[in-house]
Amino acid sequence: MSKNIVVISSSFRRNGNSQTLLNHFAKGLEENHHQITKIELSKLDLKFCLGCLTCQTKHQCVLSDDMNSLYQVIKNADILVFATPIYYYAVSGQLKTFLDRLNPLYGTKCKFKEVYLLATCADDNPKALDGAIKDISGWIECFEGVTLKKVLYGTGVTDIGDIENKSILHEAYTVAKEIL
Ligand SMILES: Cc1cc2nc3c(=O)[nH]c(=O)nc-3n(C[C@H](O)[C@H](O)[C@H](O)COP(=O)(O)O)c2cc1C
């Protein structure tokens, strides 16, 4: 059955490694005829969370920017896919800001139950993703019944194009094709 899948790319680098990894994942999803919504953080007006916590009671953000139209999109997704470059052994600041801004959804009934994390980094060691996995897991734990389904490790890639000859691209496509 076709699923509603939201894929979020967070690198501001055009044609960067994490975007390429996500493109291959999305190709697998598209071939399975899922409903896909692509969100590119570099194209959004995305402000930092003010920390006012108004959203905890109103379930609405006091800020006015592109996030306003995205809350329903995220809420109604079956699956969320986050792609991030590793910055200082953590998720990118852009992705962290996006996760923080999803706080109006905290404590509400969300449809999504599965999250995929796609990350790229210069380091060859898969442990380089540990910080990002912890970051995403911390967010996931705040949403009931949600699990981190799979992590795709785009290690050993620094410059644009470095990921092109890596087997992880085919793995991303294959993993996505298994989502039915
Ligand atoms: C600010 C910054 C911090 C980075 N920190 C790390 C790091 O801690 N570990 C690492 O292996 N690579 C680090 N990198 C390299 C990127 O993770 C790597 O180039 C990645 O493939 C970029 O993905 P992108 O092309 O999608 O932006 C850093 C890059 C930048 C710009």
| CATH code of the domain covering residue 29 | 3.40.50.360
Provide the pLDDT for residue 61.
Answer: 98
pLDDT in tens, 117-157: 999 999 999 999 999 999 999 999 999 999 999 999 999 99
Say yes or no to pLDDT of 169 above 90: yes
d(CA 17, CA 160): 6
Q: Tell me how crowded residue 58 is: count the other CB atoms within 10 A of its CB.
A: 10
Mean pLDDT, residues 13-28 taken together: 98
Helix, coil or strand: residue 40: strand
Mutate to test the pocket of ligand 1, among 86, 94, 120, 160 (most ligand atoms within 8 A of CB): 86
- Going by pLDDT thresholds of 50, 70 and 90, the confidence category of residue 1 is confident
Mean pLDDT, residues 78-105 taken together: 98
**CA nearest ligand 1 atom 7, residue:** 88
- Asked if residue 129 has its Cβ within 6 Å of ligand 1, the reply is no
Say yes or no to pLDDT of 7 above 90: yes
Alpha helices in the chain (DSSP H): 17-31, 54-58, 71-75, 93-101, 130-140, 168-177
pTM of the model: 0.98
- Asked if residue 155 has its Cβ within 6 Å of ligand 1, the reply is no
Q: What angle do CA 30, 35, 36 make, to 5 degrees?
A: 70
Cα of 86 from ligand 1 centre, angstroms: 5
pLDDT in tens, 28-85: 999 999 999 999 999 999 999 999 999 999 999 999 999 999 999 999 999 999 999 9
Q: What angle do CA 7, 173, 24 make, to 5 degrees?
A: 55
d(CA 36, CA 70): 14
DSSP-derived secondary structure letter, 136:
H
Number of domains into which the chain is organized: 1
Strand partners, 84: 119
- Domain residue limits at 71: 4-177
